[in-house]
Amino acid sequence: MFSFPRVAQITLLSTALTLVAGRILSGSAGSSRGLLTLDEVITTYTGRSSLDYNEYGCYCGLGGGGTPVDAVDRCCQAHDRCYGETSCWITHITWTEIYCAAGYCVCLDPVGTCEHEACSCDVEFGECLQRAHYNPAHKNYCP
């Protein structure tokens, strides 16, 4: 009888869970609610994966400190600051509703709610990244 090695089973299960989670967290075409919102915003405004920006410079990714290395890193710093200035406590699992199409995004949560504030931070971030030049040399680089 054929059996998958343990690593293959774990990889297959992980892939399946990722696909299911993506299906659950994404809304109808063009709109989303959930964890994938920031990724959708980044892709809409830059054409890049959000993974390209993770661990970019000193502020893109978790944490941050020091002097930003360029305009992209300053966008990440401003995004962190924006989250800090909202009237609510934002986690990485803040549920926001957004519509993205034709190169722009619109926040759908009611104005004045924590969700709308978080979404607005994400849209401003996307617009900032769109204006900034991505430098591959700054990936995993913070002097």
103 is in an annotated binding site: no
- The one catalytic residue in 52, 73, 109, 122 is 122
61 is in an annotated binding site: yes
Q: Can 122 be counted among the known catalytic residues?
A: yes
Which residue, 110, 103, 115, 112, is CA-closest to 42? 103
63 is in an annotated binding site: yes
- The one catalytic residue in 79, 109, 116, 138 is 79
59 is in an annotated binding site: yes
C-alpha angle with apex 123: 122 to 129, nearest 5 degrees? 90
In contact, 107 and 114? CB cutoff 8 Å:
no
Q: Which residues are annotated as a binding site?
A: 59, 61, 63, 80
Q: Which residues are annotated as a binding site for Ca(2+)?
A: 59, 61, 63, 80
Which residues carry out catalysis? 79, 122
